[in-house]
Amino acid sequence: MTRRLALSITMMLAFAGSAFSQGKFDVYGGYTYQRTGDAGMNGFTGAVSGNVNSWLGFTGELTRHSKGVTVSDGQDVLGDVNVSILGFRFGPRFMKQHNDSVSTFAHVLAGGYRMSANVESVLGGETIDVSASTTGFSTAVGGGLDLRVSPRIAIRPAQLDWIYLGSMSIAGEGFGGSNGFRYSGGIVLRF
């Protein structure tokens, strides 16, 4: 996993030189909702994209989603479960400028994720706190719409992605991969 991350960062830095030499890159940040398997999670996405030319760029993104639930048997609270997923991906982005204020893009991003789970419960007056985490391969394939507000600012009302989280193992228990979708919306700053 560490080798894959190092390779992704190296590739991003190699392409960043040509992208930034043209002075065209953007920074995106926004709210995101991700649903994989049966779990819907809220979070944020941050991305930096460098443009090689008018239609090709490269994007690196960092996402975090979390969810907490309280488990009860109908009468008593049995405990709290908190899950978070940190994703990091990189890949090509294909863009189309439709007019002065509307542009669309599609991307294929690959990288990894780290899922952490924490369970806290009180049994017989004693607090039990158990944590576990795992890492795996992840992809995001999709696209979005940017609406220009000014030469340096755009609104991204919709970015939709198919998400895949590779096989995982938590506390020695193996689980197959999980896939789902992600919606994101936010602000784009262009430089």
Structure tokens at 135: 């890492």
Mean pLDDT of the 181-188 span: 98
Residue with the two structure tokens 């009302």: 157
Give the range of the structural domain holding residue 68, as residue numbers without chain letter. 2-190
Give the list of residues 6+ apart from residue 151 with CB closer than 8 angstroms, or none.
Answer: 190
Tens-digit pLDDT profile for residues 113-139: 999 999 998 877 788 899 988 899 999
State the chain's mean pLDDT as an integer: 86
Taking 50 as the threshold, does the pLDDT of residue 149 lie above it? yes
Condensed to tens digits (0 to 9), the pLDDT of residues 7-43 reads: 555 555 454 444 333 348 999 999 999 998 788 999 9
Please say if the pLDDT value at position 171 is more than 80.
no
- 39-76 tens-digit pLDDT: 899 999 999 999 999 999 999 999 999 999 888 777 77
Mean pLDDT of 144-169: 92
Measure Cα distances from 21 to 14, 16, 25, 96, 159 in Å.
12, 8, 10, 21, 27
pTM recorded for the entire structure:
0.79
**Into how many domains does the chain fold?**
1
For the chain, percent helix, then strand, then coil, each to nearest 5?
A: 10, 75, 15
* CA–CA gap between residue 30 and residue 47 (Å, rounded): 9
- Contact criterion met (CB below 8 Å) for 114 and 135: yes
The CATH number that applies at residue 117 is 2.40.160.20
Q: Determine what percent of the chain is predicted with pLDDT higher than 70.
A: 84
Per-residue pLDDT band at 169 (split at 50, 70, 90): low
- The pLDDT, as a whole number, for residue 167 is 74
Inter-residue contact 50 to 101 (CB < 8 Å):
no
